[in-house]
Amino acid sequence: MPTEHAPVPEFFGDIISSYTRSDAIRDGVLVPLSPELLADAGLVFPVCVTDTVWNRYIDPVELSRLPGQSVEGRLWDLLWMLRVAIKTMKGGGDRIRYRVLFQMSPEDPPEPVDLISVCGPGDIGEPVITIMLPGED
């Protein structure tokens, strides 16, 4: 026996407030990565990183003290390791946990950083990727 479904606004009521991916980018909560860099890394969906990932690992305050380190190089490491994780992923799903080594001080060896990549819908339902630290979602 078929069932009838009420339109979403009738069922839940009017939307009181929404916070879109575009809002998060405008507010600096998400940092979009360049389409050119994504294409070079073999990624076809738009990618953002959280401001925590950006400020702590991609462009930390101490970056100028780290020999041989640059924002571009750190982004490349982040995206290349994501691509490797995608290629070696077993099964389906919208989340991938992976690890990247980041040099955090000139005296210490690179530090392993656990990251989560989530593929989900953007503002108009298009596939987008967000890279974050565990616990940020």
48 close to 128: Cβ distance less than 8 angstroms: yes
- Render pLDDT for 21-60 as a digit per residue (tens, 0 to 9): 999 999 999 999 999 999 999 999 999 999 999 999 999 9
pLDDT score of 32:
98
In the predicted structure, residue 1 carries a pLDDT above the cut 80: no
**Three-class DSSP category at 64:** helix
39 close to 118: Cβ distance less than 8 angstroms: no
C-alpha distances in Å from residue 101, one per residue of 67, 73, 104, 112: 15, 12, 9, 4
- Render pLDDT for 72-110 as a digit per residue (tens, 0 to 9): 999 999 999 999 999 998 878 899 999 999 999 999 999
pLDDT score of 93:
86
pLDDT score of 90:
83
pLDDT score of 115:
98
Rg (alpha carbons) of the chain, rounded to whole number: 18
